[in-house]
């Protein structure tokens, strides 16, 4: 689905100074811009037509809390809004019933229209903590896909070949492994591309797993005589461990709805190697400020610590306000830099008779999200009794060894275990 390469110098060199600076901010942190001149081309066209860009993002509302990883593409969309452009959120009221196959090794279960609607409210409450409602259009692709006649759909389908679909890495692997691919999954990129035609998108944002789907939109727009959209993809955000993709199953996430103190503490736990990435993808810092932070991190010591604190303050401030961010940092200092974790730990009463299954205790005390997450924390050396890490794979502890002791996870969470009395 790639476009023909341009045999000339980059169009960005021809942008006027103000658009060149805007381009620099909008392109910062992008994994890829396709075609390479696409964004510059659309910026110039919008300027000539005296209108804002229409920047499309397809969303799949769910009832789960959004994390900083989910918010990466939304923060980029907000940058477009801050430069006067319009965000067009396309709710998958129809495509959500098909199920996006991107990155999947098997056919996804489809959602009903009722499930899509039920999930949407909580999702948008969180999304609008990031986006500017006054520059946001929200549309539902069920409005055009649900009533589209078969002849029109078949006309669109002639623009995409089965060979092109099988170029997709996930489809190619499933085909080679003799894993079934349903016809509805083949239709998903086509349906997403039709959305771009319907909303007259100038730019489409997405994760790197959406590149193929987004390029289908260019193909269909061109076939309908519309200017083809530019595609801007964003990289995946690593979790607080600095290695794996941010996700709740790995307990390495920061939710945007978490309390300020919890957010700040988690952000202070990220390794120095991830500070620049978080500054780029999770804050509204200018690229020059991010570059300065990267130099501070490279210098190490106090400069690196202050750089991390600046990123943590900035992120907490985005979701809770600057005053809450300052209070969260003061609390962090009191708990950890000034050594008050032990004094401030709340008591947690538990049945300490005989043997206690530590993962169950950690979950009940709110120190882990689940038993499996607790076991991973123990195996990683993050669980301590009175400051001493528990050995990996040792999940059962005599109750007599827990009474009155400080049970902690990482540097931020702790309880004083007491015996439950009936």
Express each pLDDT in 48-93 by its tens digit. Answer: 999 999 999 998 766 567 899 999 999 999 999 999 999 999 988 8
Same domain, 290 and 143: no
For residue 23, is pLDDT > 70?
A: yes
3-class DSSP assignment, residue 228: coil
Look at residue 137 in the predicted model and tell me its pLDDT: 96
180 and 272 in one domain?
Answer: no
Confidence of residue 412 (pLDDT cuts 50, 70, 90): confident
Last residue of a domain, one of 338, 358, 393: 338
CATH number at residue 302: 1.10.240.10
User: 383 and 283, same structural domain?
Assistant: no
The overall average pLDDT reported for the chain is 86
Q: Are residues 46 and 165 in the same domain?
A: yes
- Whether the pLDDT of residue 1 is over 50: the answer is yes
pLDDT for 257-266, tens place per residue?
888 988 998 8
In a domain, 261, yes or no: yes
- Provide the domain limits for residue 272: 248-338
Q: Which of 180, 201, 234 is the last residue of a domain?
A: 234
Of 122 and 14, which is predicted with more confidence?
14
Last residue of a domain, one of 288, 310, 338: 338
Give the DSSP letter of residue 333: I
Same-domain pairing of 361 and 387: yes
Integer Cα distance of 100 and 187 in angstroms? 10
Is there a domain that residue 376 lies in? Answer: yes
Give per-residue pLDDT as tens, 83-140.
999 999 998 888 876 655 555 444 445 555 566 566 666 778 889 999 999 999 999 9
> What average pLDDT does range 161-190 have in this prediction?
82
The pLDDT assigned to 181 comes to: 81
Report pLDDT for 340: 58
- The predicted pLDDT at position 202 comes to 98
Q: What is the CATH number of the domain that holds 347?
A: 3.10.290.10
- The pLDDT score that the predictor gives to residue 111 is 56
- 169, 218: one domain: yes
**Global pTM value:** 0.76
Nearest Cα to Cα of residue 203 among 378, 76, 376, 373:
76
Whether residue 389 contacts residue 381, with contact meaning beta carbons closer than 8 Å, is answered with yes
DSSP string, 126-188: HHTTTS-GGGEEEEETHHHHTT--HHHHHHHHTTS-HHHHTTSHHHHHHHHTT----HHHHHH
Cβ neighbours around 408 below 10 Å, total: 22
Cis ω before 35 (30° cut-off from 0):
yes
Q: 20 with 105, same domain?
A: yes
Q: Same structural domain for residues 386 and 334?
A: no
Is there a domain that residue 242 lies in? no
pLDDT digits (tens, 9 = 90+) for 277-302: 999 999 999 999 999 999 999 998 88
Across residues 348-375, what is the average pLDDT?
90
Q: How many domains does the chain have?
A: 3
In a domain, 6, yes or no: no
Question: Which pLDDT score, from 0 to 100, does residue 121 have?
Answer: 67
Q: What is the SS3 assignment for 88?
A: strand
Pick the closest to residue 205 from 233, 224, 179 (CA basis): 233
Q: Residue 105's pLDDT is what? A: 47
The arithmetic mean of pLDDT across residues 185-193, rounded, is 89
Claim to verify: residue 110 and residue 168 sit in the same structural domain:
yes
pLDDT of residue 104: 47
**Is 3 a domain residue?**
no
Query: DSSP string of 241-271?
Result: TSSSBP-GGGT---BTTS-HHHHHHHHHTS-
Better pLDDT: 139 or 175: 139
pLDDT digits (tens, 9 = 90+) for 311-329: 999 999 999 999 999 998 8
Residues 172 and 124 occupy one common structural domain: yes
Q: Among 150-154, 226-230, 241-245, 284-288, name the one with the lowest average pLDDT.
A: 241-245
Q: How confident is the model at residue 209 (pLDDT cuts 50, 70, 90)?
A: confident
Is residue 356, in this structure, part of any structural domain at all?
yes
Looking at the structure, do residues 367 and 386 belong to the same domain, yes or no? yes
Q: Are residues 372 and 299 in the same domain?
A: no
Q: Domain containing 97 — which CATH number?
A: 3.40.50.620
Of 17-21, 65-69, 244-248, the range with the highest mean pLDDT is 17-21
Q: What is the mean pLDDT of residues 374-384?
A: 90
Higher pLDDT, 21 or 332: 21
CA angle 201, 203, 208 (to 5 degrees): 125
198 found inside a domain:
yes
241 found inside a domain: no
Q: In this structure, what are the phi and psi dihedrals at residue 365, rounded to the nearest 5 degrees?
A: -80, -5
Pairing of strands 86-91, 388-389: unpaired
Query: 33 versus 65: which is more confidently predicted?
Result: 33
């Amino acid at each position: 689905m790639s476009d023909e390469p341009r045999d000339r110098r980059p169009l960005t060199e021809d942008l006027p100074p103000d658009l060149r600076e805007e381009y620099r901010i909008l392109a910062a942190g992008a994994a890829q811009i396709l075609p390479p001149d696409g964004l510059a081309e659309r910026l110039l066209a919008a300027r000539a037509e005296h209108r804002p860009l229409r920047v499309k993002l397809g969303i799949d509302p769910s009832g789960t809390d959004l994390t900083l990883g989910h918010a990466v593409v939304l923060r980029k969309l907000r940058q477009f809004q801050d430069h006067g452009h319009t965000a067009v959120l396309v709710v998958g009221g129809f495509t959500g019933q098909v199920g996006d196959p991107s990155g999947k090794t098997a056919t996804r279960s489809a959602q009903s229209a009722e499930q899509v609607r039920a999930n949407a409210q909580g999702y948008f409450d969180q999304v609008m903590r990031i986006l500017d409602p006054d520059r946001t259009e929200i549309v539902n692709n069920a409005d055009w896909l649900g009533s589209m006649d078969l002849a029109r759909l078949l006309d669109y389908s002639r623009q995409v070949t089965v060979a092109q679909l099988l170029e997709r890495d996930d489809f190619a692997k499933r085909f080679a492994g003799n894993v079934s691919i349903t016809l509805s999954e083949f239709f998903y990129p086509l349906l997403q591309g039709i959305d771009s035609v319907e909303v007259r998108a100038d730019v489409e944002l997405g994760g790197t797993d959406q590149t193929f789907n987004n390029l289908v939109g260019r193909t269909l727009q061109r076939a309908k005589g519309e200017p083809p959209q530019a595609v801007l993809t964003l990289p995946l955000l690593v979790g607080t461990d600095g290695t794996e993709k941010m996700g709740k199953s790995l307990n390495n996430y920061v939710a945007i709805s978490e309390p300020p103190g919890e957010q700040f503490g988690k952000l202070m736990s990220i390794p120095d190697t991830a500070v620049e990435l978080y500054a780029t993808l999770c804050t509204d810092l200018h690229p020059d400020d991010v570059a300065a932070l990267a130099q501070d991190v490279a210098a190490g010591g106090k400069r690196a610590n202050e750089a991390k604190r600046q990123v943590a303050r900035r992120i907490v401030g985005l979701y809770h306000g600057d005053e809450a961010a300052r209070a969260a940092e003061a609390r962090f200092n009191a708990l950890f830099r000034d050594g008050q974790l032990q004094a401030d730990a709340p008591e947690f009463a538990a049945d300490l008779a005989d043997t206690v299954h530590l993962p169950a205790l950690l979950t009940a005390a709110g120190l882990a999200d689940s038993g499996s997450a607790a076991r991973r924390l123990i195996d990683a050396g993050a669980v301590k009794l009175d400051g001493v890490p528990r050995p990996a794979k040792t999940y059962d502890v005599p109750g007599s060894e827990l009474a009155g002791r400080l049970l902690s996870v990482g540097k931020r969470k702790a309880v004083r275990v007491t015996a439950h009395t009936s």
